[in-house]
Amino acid sequence: MKQIEEMRIRPGQNGGHSITHEFKREVSSKKLGDMGYSRPNSEDFNFGPGQDGEVLAHISQHLGLKGASAPEKE
């Protein structure tokens, strides 16, 4: 099962945000005397302008934050 090791958040070219999930290495082979590891491919999630609530919900979900909500707009 993939476990997130790191999330990168960058401003998107469209004015939104891009979130990349990097995963922990996993054991790929258990041959006698040879323990092989591989890292699952990273996954990218792109959000457009005006999707601030979705960005915060995505981050909160993957970090296990409870009760986080989007900031109120003035």
For residue range 61-70, list pLDDT tens digits in order.
Answer: 998 888 655 5
User: For 67, what's the count of Cα atoms within 13 Å in the CB-facing half-sphere?
Assistant: 0
> What does the pLDDT look like over 40-49, one tens digit per residue?
999 999 999 9
Q: What is the pLDDT of residue 27?
A: 80
pTM for this entry: 0.74
pLDDT tens, residue by residue, 17-26: 999 999 998 8
Q: What are the two backbone dihedrals, phi and then psi, of residue 14, each rounded to the nearest 5 degrees?
A: -95, 5
Task: Give the span between the Cα atoms of 6 and 27, in whole angstroms.
Answer: 18
Average model confidence (pLDDT) for the chain? Answer: 86
Amino acid, single-letter form, for residue 15: G
Residue 56 phi/psi, 5-degree rounding, is -65, -40
Query: pLDDT over 90 for what percent of the chain?
Result: 55
